Structure 1
Amino acid sequence: FVTLHIVQQDANDNIVANYIATSALYHPETKVWELQFVKVVHYDETGNVTDSSISDSLMIKDWRETPFRLASANLRAEYLSVPELRDYLDYNSDFPPTLLAPFATHLQYRLALPWTCLVIAFIATALGIGYSRRGILSSVAAAIIIVFSMNFVTHLFLALGEGARIPDWAAAWTPNVLFGALGLVLLYYRATNREPPSLNLFGEGRIFAR
């Protein structure tokens, strides 16, 4: 890092110190920051300067920030891989839950995503079995409705998880559970050579037409 201006605040957001340095080095083995050619200015609670000093090198041991934490401050959860999400949650575990919620939610979503393929396979298998032209048309209509519903529900629960409205695991896995259960029910009806009433769209239309 070069040409730094670091502001240190207390628990009440009052500025207690300013660090102006030409460069900074981080020593990971000792977790120490080294500020080079640095000027330090300290302030009291009212904002008045209490003292200032200039030194060629200053070693600071009590800062919790790391280069990774600084670099990841503007990262977006949806663009990170599973290892990157895990690293973010590990290095920033002391952040408030509301700030970690998007990353925890997308980590669970990445883990749940392969199982979505199995859910879709259940639904596709059930809807792919047709016994008549009317049954095929009903399956096509049902497939369109289910695809749009699954997409809407998935993004709805992701938004709830990112906003810390529900737990991250619930946001990621609930759509799979709901539509997986639907796929198994449809598969059961088709395996027993029956159509569920909700898919008998054209049959109901014929009854009303009479």
Structure 2
Amino acid sequence: MSAEVRKPVLVIGLGRFGGATARTLERMGHEVLGADLDSRLVQDFAGDLTKVVEADCTDLACLQHLGIAEFEAAVVAIGGDIEASVLAVLALCDLGVTNIWAKATNDNHARILERVGATHVVFPEQRMGERVARLLNERLLDFISFGDEFAIARLKAPEPIIGLPLISSECRKKHGITVVGVKRDGEDFIHAVPDTLIMPEDELVVSGLIEQIEKFAALQ
């Protein structure tokens, strides 16, 4: 079989968020065109991405010159400049780019981006702040939110279910969460089954609504 061909992606803005996104996409095998007005950032990324240009991506003519009409996906990572991010999204829409991810700094910014054509809007700073706050709970070890109040988390087994098989703990019925996997010290994660016995020091992988996971992790 031939190797999967990953589609090229344009990343506008090579700050912390845009730069991390661009480098990760490149490692995943995508062709990445990075663009920024800061010549220093362009130089920093010159050896890391498929191509890096110093360009004003709010300018439709500039995007046309770069051949962006051939791209299906773009990331607009210039959330700090609201006007520039909106203009960039508008220009990408005009060129027919169908999958546009845009960074927003607040709810109003997000609504504007969605109205002018962004297909996905993200709040990286807000998400990171929420993540840090949750991980300050010593029982929560890792946490991934999917943006619709649903999450997957890794946590220390709460005291009330230690010594019980999962079927007796009634985690789903009592707490609204599903235990997906269990990890014991020195062992790999295993899939949880109804007769899995929860032991002290076990780590659990659970899924459910964010509020329910937080309450479950806090059980004493």
**The structure with more helix, counted as a fraction of residues:** 1
Query: TM-score by structure 2 length?
Result: 0.25
- Structure 1 or 2, whichever has the larger Rg, is 1
Query: TM-score by structure 1 length?
Result: 0.26
